[in-house]
Structure 1
Amino acid sequence: MPQSHDIAVIAVGGYGRGEMAPFSDIDVMFLMPAKISKNTKTAIEFLLYMLWDLGLKIGHSTRSITEAITAGRDDQTVMTSFLEMRHVCGQAALWKNCQPHGAGK
């Protein structure tokens, strides 16, 4: 993903741990600032459609740092998926800003 998009793609769940079984879904979170541009939204949609067209099963969410932290605090399943999240591409600073708040390791 071009660095011009203010977003990070984060692997969560089994994909984040690097322990994927054959035919597993690929769980990703698109982490963004509070607001995203229309171009960034279009880029996310393009990426998802491309992955679906390849026949991959994608589990995804699009969240701001605040939304990710809230989701992790409110839902143990979400928090569990965040325990071993890792940065895939994009703005690593967004991912790093999420970690100290309890949404990461």
Structure 2
Amino acid sequence: MFTRDQRPVPREESPPVFHHTSRLEAFSDGVFAIAITLLILEIRVPEAGGGGGAQLWAALLARWLSYFAFVLGFGTIFVAWVGHHLLLQNLRAVT
């Protein structure tokens, strides 16, 4: 980078692109939100057939593995999200 009289500007004088980490935090929160949204797209409403509460519970129990996988994936993403925010608390600026 040069000034008007074509002298190079020292690297220390160049301003950082972002002064705060809020833009990076907002972007990463969006990425985590998309990941969680993609998880829920695989959950289907079971066909209960209109027989009442007993058939609904039976249909829900038949899909227990799908619900367990969602909770496990959600927990994994949540742990990564918390770790990411703890990491970003230690930053002063992002360039």
Same fold (TM over 0.5): no
Q: TM-score range by the shorter chain?
A: under 0.3
Structure number with the higher strand fraction is 1
Structure number with the higher helix fraction is 2
Structure possessing the higher relative contact order (Cα contacts under 8 Å, 6 or more residues apart): 2
TM-score by length of 2: 0.27
Q: Computing the radius of gyration over CA atoms, which structure comes out larger, 1 or 2?
A: 2
TM-score by length of 1: 0.25
